[in-house]
Amino acid sequence: MTDSEDKADAMFHALADRTRRDILRRVLAGEHSVSTLAASYDMSFAAVQKHVAVLERAGLITKRRSGREALASGDVEAVRSVGSMLTELETVWRGRIARIDDLIAIPDPEPNPTERND
């Protein structure tokens, strides 16, 4: 199985392009064929196809076959998992604040019920 950091690399990379973010928005709103998507952008079909492939490899979208069309759909769970990584970062930051609180609290011999400042 691939490392979870590899997964994160792929997801953030996939999101780091406005065309791909736009494609993701569309396919989150509803299924679209690759050629329908391609019609929306001022670039070749093949270029859009490659963007879709990047999103798919990152796990942000899935494709299913229907006759001659490939229908792409956004995976909201994957989007949420990216959000979780960011939340985790925020948690690390909250640790910093907690540590600063500790420093401030040092002179106080009586450990007060923690006051929050965010």
Sites of contact with DNA (CB under 7 A): 13, 16-17, 19, 33-36, 38, 43-47, 49-54, 63, 66-71
Beta carbon nearer to DNA, 18 or 116: 18
Interface residues with its own copies (CB under 8 A) are 5, 8-9, 12-13, 15-18, 21, 24-25, 28-30, 74, 76, 79-80, 82-83, 86-87, 89-90, 92-93, 95-96, 99
The H or E element that residue 102 is part of is helix 76-105
Beta carbon nearer to DNA, 23 or 78: 23
Q: Which does 96 bind (CB under 5 to 8 A by kind): DNA, its own copies, none?
A: its own copies
- Rounded least distance, CB 69 to DNA, Å: 4
Residue 116 CA to residue 113 CA, distance in Å, equals 10
Residues 6+ apart with CB under 8 A from 85: 8
Strand partners, 65: 70
Residue 9 CA to residue 4 CA, distance in Å, equals 9
Residue 74 CA to residue 30 CA, distance in Å, equals 8
- Rounded least distance, CB 59 to DNA, Å: 15
